[in-house]
């Protein structure tokens, strides 16, 4: 009998619930309930524009290129580029040049680990296009172009900016049990150097801007969760069980089990507001009548 298809639940560092995942992972590691499977890093020596250099069309051009390239790194670290691999511009091809990009040998699965002997299921995160797109969309939340632009615009030229928010965790659930935990972490620092040098013979305003973004990379890690069932040892693993509760609630909502409850709640809130509005109108009418009687 084939194993049940796994469900991926994404947590992004900008979400309040992200800390729950980190606390659960720390608890599992402290109790030796996590086994490393693999670590894969993808990056390059420096972000490049469509001209294959550090000159971009302003903050907007730089930020959009950076977000697109980081997404491409993430998809390759998780081996999902065969399912979902959107392109932004030709600059992405320069940044994925095999002479520049580094796809590290997966490590941690075994001492002699290599792409040839690590099971493919442990390298390719999912095998479903919709799930791959969902993972990609959640990763994009870490580096929206306007956030990159605003961070760089808020500091003087030539000031380095570290983008530390780039982390997401993916919890793999199979038959109601957490079987693997994946983390995806980006390391990015950049600075805006100012106008790019004018080329000889150029006419008109210089809209090209010079940026530096050395060694951007994305690191993916995968670990197996060993020997834990739902509700097991609640006293010993309270943080892990809290994570399980959040995941069960999320899956109920995604499957529509709570739709009627939510719709009913919103309807009741609407009714309450209407009743309150009616009561306010009655109170106002009474006050006006009282004022007329006083006159």
Token pair recorded at residue 245: 């509760």
What count of other Cβ atoms lies within 10 Å of the Cβ of residue 157? 12
Q: Kindly calculate the radius of gyration of the chain based on its CA atoms and give it in whole angstroms.
A: 26
> How much is the pTM?
0.78
User: How do the domains of the chain map onto residue ranges?
Assistant: 7-231
Selection from 177, 181, 157 nearest residue 168 by Cα? 181
Token pair recorded at residue 69: 């390239």
The 3-state DSSP class for residue 170 equals: strand
Res 68: pLDDT? 92
Selection from 235, 244, 96, 113 nearest residue 176 by Cα? 244
**Alpha carbons 76 and 70: distance in angstroms, whole number:** 10
Which contiguous run of DSSP H or E holds residue 94? helix 91-95
**Alpha carbons 38 and 47: distance in angstroms, whole number:** 26
Res 123: pLDDT? 81
**CB of 230 within 8 A of CB of 75?**
no
Mean pLDDT by 10 residues, the chain (295 residues): 70 90 92 87 89 91 93 91 84 71 44 46 83 94 92 96 87 86 93 85 71 92 80 73 87 59 59 55 58 58
Res 120: pLDDT? 54
Res 175: pLDDT? 79
Res 249: pLDDT? 85
Token pair recorded at residue 6: 């796994």
């Amino acid at each position: 009998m084939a194993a049940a298809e796994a469900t991926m639940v994404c947590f992004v560092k900008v979400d309040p619930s992200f800390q729950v995942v980190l606390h659960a992972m720390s608890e599992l590691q402290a109790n030796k309930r996590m086994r490393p499977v693999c670590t894969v890093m993808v990056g390059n020596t420096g972000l490049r524009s469509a001209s294959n250099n550090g000159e971009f069309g302003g903050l907007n051009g730089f930020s959009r290129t950076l977000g697109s390239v980081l997404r491409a790194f993430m998809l390759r670290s998780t081996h999902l580029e065969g399912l979902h691999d959107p392109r932004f511009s030709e600059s992405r091809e320069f940044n994925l040049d095999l002479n520049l990009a580094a796809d590290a040998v997966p490590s941690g699965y075994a001492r002699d680990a290599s792409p040839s002997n690590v099971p493919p299921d442990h390298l390719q995160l999912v095998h479903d296009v919709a799930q791959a797109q969902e993972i990609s969309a959640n990763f994009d939340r870490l580096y929206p172009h306007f956030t990159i632009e605003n961070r760089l615009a808020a500091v003087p030229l030539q000031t380095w900016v570290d983008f530390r928010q780039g982390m997401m965790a993916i919890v793999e659930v199979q038959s109601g049990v957490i079987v693997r935990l994946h983390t995806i972490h980006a390391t990015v620092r950049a600075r805006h150097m100012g106008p790019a040098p004018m080329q000889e013979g150029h006419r008109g305003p210089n809209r090209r801007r010079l940026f530096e973004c050395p060694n951007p990379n994305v690191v993916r890690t995968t670990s197996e969760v060993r020997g834990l069932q739902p509700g097991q040892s609640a006293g010993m693993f309270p943080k892990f069980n809290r994570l399980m509760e959040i995941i069960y609630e999320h899956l109920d909502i995604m499957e529509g089990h709570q739709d009627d409850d939510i719709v009913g709640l919103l309807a009741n809130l609407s009714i309450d507001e209407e009743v309150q509005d009616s009561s306010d109108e009655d109170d106002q009418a009474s006050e006006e009548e009282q004022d007329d009687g006083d006159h």
